[in-house]
Amino acid sequence: MRLRGQKLYRSAAHQILRKRLYMGDFDWDGTTYHGTHEPLVTRESWQRVQELLDARAENKTRKVKHDFAFTGLVHCGHCGCLLVGELKKGRYAYYHCTGNRGKCTEPYTRQEVLTSEFANILQELIIPQPILEWLGDAVLTSDQTEQAARAQSIKKLQARYDQIQARIETMYLDKLDGRITQEFFDTQSAAWRREQDGLLLKIQDIQKATPAPIDQAVDMLRLTSRASELFRQQTAAEQRRLLHLVVEKAAWQDGALRTTLFEPFEILRHSNHESDRKEREIAGSGRDLGIWLPRQDSNPLVSGRCPLRAQMLRFQNALPVAHHQLC
């Protein structure tokens, strides 16, 4: 549409149709006045136009694009393209290959099917309560050992620092009494102070490297064990954020979902699978707790550096976002 040779945009047309001036009134300084000029349209026509504009604006506001839970998460196992969501009959969500690399044979898949598959993946992260209790006890023992070792190291470094400080103070008195020269004092005290600086850096490094209490890692594992249960109750956006945190790769092919999880979750899933396998091999033997301990020697808990503790800390470092997601 053009007005006097200029293009008339839709927004400008709406502004014109909103003006009371055309039906005989006008607004000034926040007040509406009745004009003396001849109206271009009747008051009834102007009011009807306002109702139509208001309805149009309301419908536009209410029109919300459907939020597909697995957008950008799943690739087609045939061609590698992403699966995209599509509504059928305005209510049923289906996923299909984009076909960006040519016609693909992968059929449409209901969203409920993918939801169930992902929930099953999260189900594999559930740790039985007896194992959670064992993990807490085993790692707590290691934690106490490492805390004692760190405290002992800091104590030795601090003792050496204090010893050097006492020598500097004694040497200063010798300088005042004339038993040593100023030059000797300056040279020796500078060397000792450099050693003190190095000792302080080592103490700080140990203190900075001190991990958070390991019970937080166990709490993270307990929370991860509830992921599958909570996943089914979450909104599409919440499900997508959780899966982006847990799932590194996902491919759908011939009705089967293949996934690779990020490291801490993949380790957890592998440990669960191994424990189940042991249980099947030896019926009634119970869960094999040793599976959860990546052994480096005959008794890692006594070796001073428990690999299980390191593994638990990886969970603790990787799961703060998941904690926020699930709480």
**What is the reported pTM?**
0.51
> How many Cβ atoms sit within 10 Å of the Cβ of residue 45?
13
> Are the CB atoms for 263 and 314 separated by under 8 Å?
yes
> Are the CB atoms for 71 and 84 separated by under 8 Å?
yes
* 66/235 Cα distance (integer angstroms): 12
Mean pLDDT within 255-275: 82
Chain segment 183-235, per-residue pLDDT in tens: 999 999 999 999 999 999 999 998 887 765 666 667 777 777 888 888 888 88
Pairing of strands 256-261, 247-253: antiparallel
Angle at 209 between CA 246 and CA 138, to 5 degrees: 65
> Are the CB atoms for 251 and 76 separated by under 8 Å?
yes
| Residue spans per domain, the chain | 2-62, 143-209, 214-326
pLDDT at 127: 77
Q: How many CA atoms lie within 13 A of 110 on its CB side?
A: 5
What element of type H or E holds 308? helix 307-318
> Are the CB atoms for 58 and 64 separated by under 8 Å?
no
Any idea which fold 2-62 has? Answer: Hect, E3 ligase catalytic domain fold (3.90.1750)
Quote the tokens at residue 317. 């470092």
Chain segment 16-70, per-residue pLDDT in tens: 777 777 777 766 665 666 767 777 778 778 777 777 776 665 555 344 467 888 9
Pairing of strands 109-110, 247-253: unpaired
